Amino acid sequence: MAKSVETQATLTNEMLQFTGTAGDNPEIIFNYPPPMGDGPGYNPLELLLMSLAVCSSTASVILLRGMKKTVSGVSVHAQGTLRRKPPTSFEKVVLEFIFTSPDATDHDVQQAIRLAEETYCPVWAMLKNSIEIASTCTVITPEACLKSA
């Protein structure tokens, strides 16, 4: 039998604020800017970008560690360009990865990101045929951090 993932979204006010939950995790607040929404919270496209960033970095870290590389830090900036006409969706996403590692090379990280895209990140797999996704990467060694301090 196939595995499934379940979530729950519940409207919490008279505007468009929702809470979302999955399993026993803390709830997430969704909202929209006025006039549709009325306060703090993530909009669904922000969470989609975050999901892509986390999924692709998780896969990349696992792959790099499988190559016996040390990964002491990862940061990903994800920027989505919206289509001009409805439905509002992304036409392009750019992922900017910054890895901190004493022994991973640019080539190692690029290979891990490529494998994440092609095989290991399900979010990327679902999105890549409908939007353009580009990525860049930088590898920072701890020695380089000490020299710049």
**138: Cβ contacts below 8 Å, ≥ 6 apart:** 96, 97, 98, 99
Report pLDDT digits (tens) over 109-137.
999 999 999 999 999 999 999 999 999 99
Q: What is the 3-state secondary structure (H, E, C) of 14-35?
A: CCCCEEEECCCCCCEEECCCCC
* pLDDT value of residue 39: 82
Residue for token pair 């960033």:
53
pTM of the full predicted structure? 0.90
Output the pLDDT for position 69. 97
Taken in order 128, 88, 97, 47, the sign of the CA dihedral is negative
Single out the residue of 104, 24, 121 nearest to residue 66, CA to CA: 104
Per-residue pLDDT reduced to its tens digit, 18-47: 999 999 999 999 999 889 999 889 999 999
